[in-house]
């Protein structure tokens, strides 16, 4: 998609602090972190929301979680714990319409989330 912020980050048109990438996945620090560790993990393929997932996206979505595990270990937060969040559509607070997994850690999380 041409007018998608995260596609522009993927294509290097907007700078970001990239912390991980492979063939299918890109991860970068959130510009407005809500925790000491706040990484956004996206599929390189543009998919707007979880509602737009198709069966053949399943492996890619699985890879987002594998990347999260890897990044959590790099930050040494895997034993203390961390939170993975996907917001879908407006009521959940989605503001960028390119699927992204939030990896949040380095502080105690509250439940239920606000």
- Verify whether residue 46 is a known catalytic residue: no
By CB under 6 A, name the one of 32, 51, 55, 110 that touches ligand 5GP.
32
DSSP for 57-84, written as a single string: GHHHHHHHHHHHHHHHHHTT-TTT-EEE
- Find the shortest distance in angstroms from Cβ 102 to ligand 5GP: 6
Q: What φ, ψ does residue 67 adopt, rounded to 5°?
A: -65, -40
- Please, where are the H alpha helices in the chain? 5-10, 58-74
Could you say whether residue 93 binds ligand 5GP (CB under 6 A)?
yes
- Find the shortest distance in angstroms from Cβ 6 to Zn ion: 5
Could you say whether residue 1 binds ligand 5GP (CB under 6 A)?
no
- Find the shortest distance in angstroms from Cβ 74 to Zn ion: 25
Could you say whether residue 96 binds ligand 5GP (CB under 6 A)?
yes
Could you say whether residue 8 binds Zn ion (CB under 5 A)?
no
Per DSSP, the three-state class of 41 is strand
**CA 75, 78, 81, 87: dihedral to nearest 10 degrees?**
70
Residues of the shown chain interacting with ligand 5GP in the complex, contacts defined by CB under 6 A: 5, 14, 16, 28, 30-32, 40, 87, 93-96
């Amino acid at each position: 998609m041409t007018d998608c912020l995260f596609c522009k980050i993927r294509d290097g048109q907007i700078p970001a602090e990239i912390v991980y990438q492979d063939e299918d996945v890109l991860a970068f620090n959130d510009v407005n972190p809500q925790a000491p560790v706040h990484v956004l993990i996206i599929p390189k393929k543009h998919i707007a929301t979880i509602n737009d997932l198709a069966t053949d996206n399943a492996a890619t979505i699985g890879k987002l979680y594998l990347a999260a595990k890897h990044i959590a270990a790099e930050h040494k937060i895997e034993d203390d714990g961390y939170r993975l969040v996907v917001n879908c559509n407006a009521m959940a607070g989605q503001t960028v319409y390119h699927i992204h997994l939030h990896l949040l850690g380095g502080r105690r999380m509250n439940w239920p989330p606000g």
